[in-house]
Amino acid sequence: MIVGSNPTSLANKKLMKYFVEPKNYCGNLPRHKFGVNKGNVDRLAVSKLYGFTVEQLKKAYLNWQDVFRIEGSTLTYEQYLDKLSETDITPNHVGNLPNQYNLSRYGDIGSYTNKNCRFILRLDNEREQSHPSLPKKTFICLHCSKSFLVRSEGSRIRKFCSRNCMGFHNQPSKHRKRKEQNMTST
């Protein structure tokens, strides 16, 4: 059983690569005992336990669901919150900015389990992801004609050495603009 992001939405179930029932992976967190929320995690009780606001818990829950994109992941929501507390960060510190934290697997190998992951800075996570064992390929930029090295990424072939070159290359040239103006004026 595996999940993409937000498995509770019916519309997203079709878009997800994997699916699990999140209620089964919440651990021993306090749950509602009665009413329409029976069986769901009691956010107010959990917020008192961990010192997070209800909004922060919502963000943590959505981030936690993403671990199930990797097959075999068994990290519970309770373990996820424990890891946040151990690292002394809040869910607001988790994200994709350079100074924010990511949930990282040791050696970037295997599934997300309680023993195989921890929160580290995004930059450290990216350094860990570089695979020195992958061979480098040489490409020549279509815009500036410089050669550049890229670690093998499967069948993906890079055509530009940077986003700058890609942006310049995709802009119409002056010659092409003049030609288009002449054709429209006649």
User: What is the average pLDDT value for the chain, to the nearest integer?
Assistant: 75
pLDDT at 55 over 80: yes
Please tell me whether residues 60 and 107 are part of one structural domain: yes
- The answer to whether position 4 is within a domain reads no
pLDDT at 130 over 70: no
pLDDT band at 171 (very low <50, low <70, confident <90, very high): low
Instruction: Give the percent of the chain with pLDDT over 70.
Output: 61
pLDDT at residue 119, rounded to an integer? 94
Gap between the Cα atoms of 170 and 164, Å rounded:
10
Please tell me whether residues 73 and 148 are part of one structural domain: no
Backbone φ, ψ for residue 138 (5° rounding): -100, 130
Average of pLDDT values for 126-145?
Answer: 69
Please tell me whether residues 94 and 163 are part of one structural domain: no
162 vs 64: which has the higher pLDDT = 64
Average of pLDDT values for 92-116?
Answer: 88
127 vs 59: which has the higher pLDDT = 59
Please tell me whether residues 125 and 161 are part of one structural domain: no
83: domain range?
10-129
Gap between the Cα atoms of 6 and 40, Å rounded:
15
Please tell me whether residues 54 and 116 are part of one structural domain: yes
Q: pTM, whole model, 2 decimals?
A: 0.61
In total, how many domains does the chain have? 2
pLDDT at residue 182, rounded to an integer? 61
Gap between the Cα atoms of 56 and 86, Å rounded:
16
- The answer to whether position 3 is within a domain reads no
pLDDT at residue 79, rounded to an integer? 93
pLDDT at residue 152, rounded to an integer? 54
pLDDT at 118 over 90: yes
- The answer to whether position 1 is within a domain reads no
Strands 101-105 and 147-151: unpaired
What would the pLDDT profile of 1-52 be if each residue is shown by its tens digit? 334 444 444 444 444 455 566 667 888 888 888 888 888 889 899 999 999 9
Cβ burial 122-140 (10 Å sphere, 16+ → b, else e): beebeeeeeeeeeeeeeee
Please tell me whether residues 67 and 102 are part of one structural domain: yes
pLDDT at residue 66, rounded to an integer? 83
- The answer to whether position 68 is within a domain reads yes
pLDDT at residue 161, rounded to an integer? 66
Please tell me whether residues 29 and 113 are part of one structural domain: yes
20: Cβ contacts below 8 Å, ≥ 6 apart: 1, 2, 3, 7, 68
Indicate the SS3 state at residue 104.
strand
Please tell me whether residues 26 and 115 are part of one structural domain: yes
Helix 43-50 vs helix 77-87: crossing angle, to nearest 10 = 30
pLDDT at 163 over 80: no
Please tell me whether residues 18 and 108 are part of one structural domain: yes
Please tell me whether residues 152 and 63 are part of one structural domain: no
| Contact of 125 with 139, CB cutoff 8 Å | no
- The answer to whether position 108 is within a domain reads yes
